[in-house]
Amino acid sequence: MPTRREVVAALAEAVGPANVMWRPEDLAVYEFDGTIERSTPHAVALPANAAETAAVVRACNRLGVPVTPRGAGTGLSGGSVPARRGVVISTARMRSILEIDPVDRIAIVEPGVPNLDLSKAAAPYGLFYAPDPSSQQACTIGGNVAENAGGPHCLALGVTQNHVLGIEVVTASGELTWLGGRVPDALGFDLRGAFIGSEGTLGIATKVIVRLVPSPASVITLLAVFDSVQQASETVSAIISAGMIPAAMEMMDRLCLQAAEAGFQCGYPPDAGAVLLVELDGLPDIIDGQAATVRAECLERGAKEVRLASGQREREMLWKGRKGAIPALGRLAPNYYILDGVVPRSKLVEVMETVSTVSERFDIPIANVFHAGDGNLHPLVLFDERTPGAKSRVLEAGGEIMRACVDAGGALSGEHGIGAEKRMFMPWLYNETDIENMARLRTVFGNTGDFNPCKLLPTGTGCGEMAHQAAAIAAAGPDAYV
């Protein structure tokens, strides 16, 4: 292995000495993302463009140094944590919106553009970018592509996969190429689709062409207040069965409501068992009738109250509370472990009962905030990492919840990705042949094992002892593919 001095020298040649970090105090902020994983890189490179990105990748390949791509570091599955240390390649300097085309309704952006900045730039044209993760003020388009990010308003419009047309990519081998283009449904194999959600294992996006959609003519936001999560969960399926797909349908339980209200004073009833936040958009004549139907379905299933946001200010406050609910939980506990599972809507009540049972059995508080309309759950296990044994108990509880999602006919992730966190659980859904075929795709892009290693697939060696590994293997059981 090369020395740190040799690695830093090679990186400095590629991006300039000012854009390489190697001192311990600088590296500390690159050792974690939004999970409980920790691993400090040997160095960080900040390229300014595709050519510099390719030069860094080629230098690392030449030296045999592992590479970990990183956007804003807001990921929630350990995807940007450098499992085998090596070099982190940050896209933080590539923050330009290169083009907005209101006629073709597309934008071309660099990967470091924050998600919300894109919609702000498109707003004067009456357009916006649909995927809206709760971290959209900070998370970047490149990271969204890597994780196939979603968000509250993806119920009707879809996730990142549905809104990215083309990607300029530096592959794991250091080659520069385009996948897709300015128009949808390009001929040939959909390598664009394969790259989206590949979690930084195939390469690094250096430009992204996204689809923009028209801003809605009118918006109605309702808040339905229930005594229990069960009532709210039953209402979700009832609303969709009534023949409509809301723009968003979010649920929060009592713990989340209390934290959000204490933090933002956004008008939530902190004594409620759960609330549904339902948003409808479209032509006024149509959504007025839909709002009446939603209200009736909520009241029929036990809602104590159904509020209609009186204006833009109240609507913004309701969404501020929802999107800030997770960080607001810091008022209740110093640490949280967020899960990301998907279940059929018909199984919401059953799986939420399992979450409650796990909380009681492990004697650990679990808050719940999730995209109820598409069954994307986000249980948040609250704990204090300073308590001996707390972390292992939290991971064990999380493993049981993820198993319940899979057993209910669901999936291991809706938008946060598999990352390091859940890769040992992949055999619950895929057999050895499936996993081998996924691994073969990496070689097409030149990944021989050192490009974002120890992520997504349960294969590979030399991945160290990241925090989740022992508990994940134990939860996966004897069928774990190690």
In the prediction, which pLDDT does 478 show?
41
Chunked into runs of 10 residues, the chain (482 residues) has average pLDDT values of 94 98 97 93 98 98 98 96 97 98 98 98 98 95 97 94 98 98 87 97 98 97 97 95 94 95 91 96 95 97 96 94 92 94 95 97 96 95 96 96 98 96 96 96 96 91 56 49 33
User: CB of 142 within 8 A of CB of 166?
Assistant: no
Residue type, 261: E
In the prediction, which pLDDT does 460 show?
63
Closest CA to 425 of 440, 411, 438: 411
In the prediction, which pLDDT does 384 show?
96
In the prediction, which pLDDT does 475 show?
56
Backbone φ and ψ of 291, nearest 5°:
-60, -40
Residue 214, SS3 per DSSP: strand
Give the integer Cα–Cα distance in Å for 427 and 34: 25
Residue with tokens 């933080």: 92
Give the integer Cα–Cα distance in Å for 146 and 385: 29
Q: In whole angstroms, how far apart are CA 390 and each of 36, 105, 381, 420, 473?
A: 12, 49, 11, 19, 17
In the prediction, which pLDDT does 261 show?
93
In the prediction, which pLDDT does 202 show?
98
Closest CA to 368 of 399, 411, 420, 322: 322
In the prediction, which pLDDT does 466 show?
56
Q: Which domains does the chain have, with CATH numbers?
A: 4-90 (3.30.43.10), 97-214 (3.30.465.10), 218-329 (3.30.70.2190), 333-415 (3.30.70.2740)
Residue type, 469: Q
Q: Which residues of 397-407 are buried (b: 16+ CB within 10 A; e: fewer)?
A: bbbebbbbbbe
pTM, two decimals, is 0.93
